[in-house]
Structure 1
Amino acid sequence: MSNTATLTDRLRGIYRIPITDGLGATGGGEEPDNPHAFVRHFETPPIQKEAAREIERLRAGIRAYLDGDYEHPRRHRPGKCAHGAYYYEECGSCIDAHFTALLSGNSAQDRNPGS
């Protein structure tokens, strides 16, 4: 589990406490798929849930860029992108547009959640 995953869980009031006594879980609260962690749920203010969603949205946008799933010139094969770059060229303007839209909350991931 990454630090960001645990951060978003904690923002949502979900705490996973590792069981390190060698005995494993002995009562309610353990995760069915991980008998070596005890899970506690706490009420959290709405702002924390909103922060967790924002972190996940930004992570999804970064992941989309790293996976090449953004408005890249390769999507305009065999022509050019909106900035005039051929599909075999890198286009810094396409990259800038992706991150500008992501930071403004206007990215493709925001319009199509789960894609």
Structure 2
Amino acid sequence: MRSHTTGVDSGDVVLFSDYEDGGAMWTGRGQRERRRHIRFSETYLEPPTVQLSPSLWDLDATTVMRADISAEAVTKSGFDMVFRTWGDTRVARMRISWIAIGHLSDEGDWDVE
């Protein structure tokens, strides 16, 4: 890793709030999914490493918590933040923090063709 060209980008995103309007994550059953495309503030030289973690989860206490959070379709310019649940799990709200770490271009880099 070249420390002088390492870029770090991050954010905190409310992915959904289904309790307020009776959305599928709160009222539904079975397989459910929400996704949101996130754009990086700068373009990386290659797809960066992306880490996700829940920063707020508001779940019904009477059902089993089943959840899968992942970064999919990671490119140099962004990724898809994906939340999945299944069964009788009821999720009122979900906020997810993310961080991306990867190589950025440097003014001193040469591009020889």
Same fold per TM (> 0.5)?
A: no
| Structure ranking higher in helix proportion | 1
| Structure ranking higher in strand proportion | 2
TM-score by length of 2: 0.22
TM-score by length of 1: 0.21
Instruction: Please say which structure displays the higher CA radius of gyration.
Output: 1
